[in-house]
């Protein structure tokens, strides 16, 4: 490619982005950040650049992060066994201490530092700060093996969101800060709860009436039966794909999170491959995008 061709391509991309920048001026975009995009150095830098650019062109990004691999690593080093039930980490008191150290301390502050290094003004919070994420204990209902009856399973300090104190976030957003949220909730008696990051992102987006919820994943989006990415889906189409088995167990929790967020007032949900360079900008500011939009 010649320099002239490169200049033309740069101009084309900028012009393509212009109507999206106009459309989303002042809009809130909640981004769930995790997976490979969080642990690969170049992708972390590009993610930070994308979020800061969103803020600079007039959007209001809010980041909710996970940290499963980092939690698992520290638990292993401390000789604490990792156990899961239906994909959720069993969280006893010792594990909850590790979750708070990793999510509320290490990972949260790493992301804040990354964003600030790229020129942003990021502030890290957990769901306990200002009672931001109010929660209660999550009790799983599952079938008893070999029976049609169900039982409730207590998996420890694992919670579900019952309220989001949005004034904590709007107080940060108005003067130009980028909130970075660790998915730890607080109960009525002050107890701490480990909450799935996708769930927290969906609830935060709903309570903020966000224009977009973007779920960064390790896959290209929702795939059809031939393993090709479906670029856009309606809620009706999603239900059909779940019913016929096209959307399976790995993608199902994210799609259910998307459906709940849409039902609660979020404008659209994008499920995006976070391993693609500058995936966030490509999905929001280009015609083709790099994932699946559900609206």
Q: Given this model, what pLDDT does residue 113 score?
A: 97
Q: Given this model, what pLDDT does residue 203 score?
A: 97
46 close to 116: Cβ distance less than 8 angstroms: no
This model's pTM is above 0.85: yes
Low-confidence ranges of the chain (pLDDT < 70): 1, 3-7, 9-10, 36, 146
DSSP string, the chain: --HHHHHHHHHHHHHHHHHHHHHTTT-EEEEEE-THHHHSHHHHHHHHHHHHHHHHTT-EEEEEE--HHHHHHHHHHTT----EETTEEPB-HHHHHHHIIIIIIIIHHHHHHHHHHTT--EEEEETTGGG-EEEEEEEEEEEPTTSS-EEEEEEEEEEEEEEE-HHHHHHHHTTT-EEEEE-EEE-TTS-EEE--HHHHHHHHHHHTT-SEEEEEESSSSSB-TTSPBP-EE-HHHHHHHHHTTSS-TTTHHHHHHHHHHHHTT-SEEEEEETTSTTHHHHHHHSSS-SEEEE-
Closest Cα partner for 204 from 225, 186, 179, 228?
179
Q: Given this model, what pLDDT does residue 5 score?
A: 62
Distance CA 194, CA 72 (A): 14
Q: Given this model, what pLDDT does residue 112 score?
A: 98
Integer angstrom CA distances of residue 253 from 35, 60, 88: 15, 26, 11
Query: What residue spans define the domains of the chain?
Result: 26-288
Q: Given this model, what pLDDT does residue 109 score?
A: 96
Q: Given this model, what pLDDT does residue 88 score?
A: 83
Instruction: Look at the domain 26-288 and name its fold.
Output: Carbamate kinase (3.40.1160)
């Amino acid at each position: 490619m010649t320099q002239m061709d490169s200049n033309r391509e740069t101009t084309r991309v900028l012009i393509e982005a212009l109507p999206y920048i106009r459309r989303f001026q002042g809009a809130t975009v909640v981004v769930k950040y995790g997976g490979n995009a969080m642990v690969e150095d170049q992708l972390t830098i590009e993610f930070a650049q994308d979020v800061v650019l969103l803020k600079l062109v007039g959007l209001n990004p809010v980041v909710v992060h996970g940290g499963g691999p980092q939690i698992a690593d520290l638990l292993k080093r401390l000789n604490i066994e990792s156990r899961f039930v239906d994909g959720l980490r069993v969280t006893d008191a010792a594990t909850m201490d590790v979750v708070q150290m990793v999510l509320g301390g290490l990972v949260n502050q790493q992301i804040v530092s990354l964003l600030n290094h790229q020129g942003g003004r990021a502030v890290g919070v957990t769901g306990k700060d200002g009672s931001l994420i109010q929660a209660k204990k999550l009790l799983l209902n599952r079938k008893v093996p070999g029976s049609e009856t169900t039982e409730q399973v207590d998996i420890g300090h694992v919670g579900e969101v019952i309220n989001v104190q949005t004034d904590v976030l709007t107080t940060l957003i108005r003067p130009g800060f980028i909130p970075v949220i660790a998915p730890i909730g607080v109960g009525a008696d002050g107890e701490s709860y480990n909450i799935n990051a996708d769930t927290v992102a969906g609830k935060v987006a709903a309570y903020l009436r966000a224009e977009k919820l973007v779920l960064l994943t390790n896959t290209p989006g929702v795939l059809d039966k031939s393993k090709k990415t479906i670029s856009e889906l309606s809620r009706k189409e999603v239900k059909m794909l779940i019913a016929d088995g096209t959307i399976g167990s790995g993608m199902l929790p994210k799609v259910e999170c998307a459906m709940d967020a849409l039902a609660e007032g979020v404008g659209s949900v994008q499920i995006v491959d976070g391993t693609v360079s500058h995936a966030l900008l490509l999905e929001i500011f280009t015609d083709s995008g790099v994932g699946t939009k559900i609206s």
